[in-house]
Amino acid sequence: MSRFEGFGPDVQMWFEGLEANNSKDYFAAGRDFYEESIRDQMAALLGELSEKFGGEVKMFRQNRDIRFSPDKSPYKTNTYGVLYGAGVAAHGLYASISARGLVAGSGYHAMARDQLDRYREAVAGDEHGAELSKLTVKAEKAGLELWGESLATTPRGYRKDHPRIMLLRRKRLTLGSMVGFGARIGRADGLRFVTKTWRAAAPVTAWLDEYVGPTTLPVQRRPSRR
Q: In this model, does residue 224 exceed pLDDT 60?
A: no
One-letter amino acid of 133: S
What is the structure's pLDDT at 220? 63
The whole-angstrom separation of Cα 114 and Cα 182 is 43
Give yes or no for a contact between 2 and 38, defined as CB atoms under 8 angstroms apart. Answer: no
For 48-79, b/e burial (b = at least 16 CB within 10 A) is bbbeebebebeeeebeeeeeeeeeeeebbebb
The whole-angstrom separation of Cα 102 and Cα 116 is 29
CA 124 to each of CA 97, 102, 117, 119, 162: distance values in angstroms, whole numbers, following the listed order? 36, 34, 11, 9, 8
Domain boundaries, the chain: 6-211
pLDDT in tens, 148-174: 899 999 999 999 999 999 999 999 999
Which CATH architecture is the domain 6-211 placed in?
Answer: 2-Layer Sandwich (3.30)
Nearest Cα residue to 64 out of 52, 53, 77, 55: 77
Q: How does the average pLDDT of the chain come out, rounded?
A: 93
The whole-angstrom separation of Cα 42 and Cα 44 is 5
State the average pLDDT over residues 199-226: 83
What is the structure's pLDDT at 225? 46
Q: In this model, does residue 226 exceed pLDDT 50?
A: no
State the average pLDDT over residues 50-71: 91
Whole-structure pTM value: 0.91
